[in-house]
Amino acid sequence: MKSLINKQDESFLKKFAAIASISTAFVLTLIKTYAAFMTGSLSVLSSLIDSLSDILASIITFVAVHYSDKPLTNKHRYGYGKAESVSALLQSAFIIGSAGFILYDGFYRFANPRQIEETMFGIIIMSICWIITLALILLQKYTIKRVHSQAINADSGHYTVDLLSNGSVIVSLFVVKYLHWMWFDVATAVLIALYLLYNAGVIAYEALEEITDKEINEADRQKIINAVTRLDGVLGCHDFRSRISGSTFFVELHLEFDGNKTLYETHKISDIAESEIVSLFPQAQVIIHQDPYGLKEKRLDHDIEKICKL
């Protein structure tokens, strides 16, 4: 969750990664189109179709990253970070469509086998594609380590699948060339399609989790609780909740103080608590409510406990 750079550099890095993704998708599509035409391989064609969907997905990623960085407005006071989650959902839809086309053509070719030609040419071309894809993934992984971006993460997941599928296409072409198992090419394409469907499901699930305001992970949650409860004057913490929106996440919690302390004193400690949280997670936005220790009141924690027991 922790961002290691300022907001301006974070925006530049995300946009650079998105532009690199679009450029890579265009280059790979051109290369694979030629390879598919020369070889007639379904596994190469399946990789080409995936690259075509990559172009659309990468453009969506760029738009989402650009949109999510828009400044706050009166109508969007939490920002536009959810645009990245919507982008991830759209990407998963493109992946599903690509996989469906590959499966359809795969079953057709099982019934109507087709001769594959120029396999060594295909191997060389697909190896070049594999190297280009790897370079892009390394850039994306670097970006993800520096900032939290679900759109870039989804795009990276998509290209990781491409890396695996490109590798499997290379293996398939080797098998066809030296063992003459024509069915192996079709089987490889079908397996790629099934893996694409699985990957689309993972991306869609993670996007929906963020859209429906899933809590931050337990390790980060505990870091925050430990940081604020160890401060002098803090007697307890309750009603902690959080949600993620793009590269920002929002934290709300109640801190408990000696009821005899003045509002000024508790507010000062709360400011220190907020600073502690932001030092751990610079992109966090924090809301802290002060409560007298031991106060009997209706709490979110109690409601959640009741629901979890049902």
pLDDT at 36 over 60: yes
Best CA proximity match to 209, nearest among 95, 70, 89: 89
Best CA proximity match to 291, nearest among 251, 240, 246: 240
Higher pLDDT, 309 or 146: 146
Helix, strand, or coil here: 231?
coil
Higher pLDDT, 64 or 123: 123
pLDDT at 268 (0 to 100): 95
pLDDT at 2 (0 to 100): 43
Average pLDDT over residues 19-47: 82
The tokens describing 250, both together, are: 């929002």
pLDDT at 243 over 80: yes
pLDDT at 22 (0 to 100): 84
pLDDT at 182 over 80: no
The 10 Å Cβ neighbour count of residue 211 is 17
| 259-283: pLDDT as tens digits | 999 999 999 999 999 999 999 888 8
> What percentage of residues in the chain have a pLDDT greater than 70?
91
pLDDT at 263 (0 to 100): 92
CATH numbers and ranges of domains, the chain: 7-211 (1.20.1510.10), 218-309 (3.30.70.1350)
pLDDT at 120 (0 to 100): 85
Q: What are phi and psi of 237, to 5 degrees?
A: -145, 135
Average pLDDT over residues 172-190: 79
Measure the CA–CA gap between 95 and 165, rounded to whole angstroms: 13
Tell me the average pLDDT of the chain. 82
**Bridging pattern class, strands 248-257 and 236-245:** antiparallel
| 84-112: pLDDT as tens digits | 788 888 878 877 887 787 777 677 667 66
Helix (H) or strand (E) holding 153: helix 150-179
Buried-state track 148-182, b at ≥16 Cβ within 10 A, e below 16: bbbbbbbbbbbbbbbbebbebbbebbebbeeeeeb
Its pTM stands at 0.68
pLDDT at 1 (0 to 100): 47
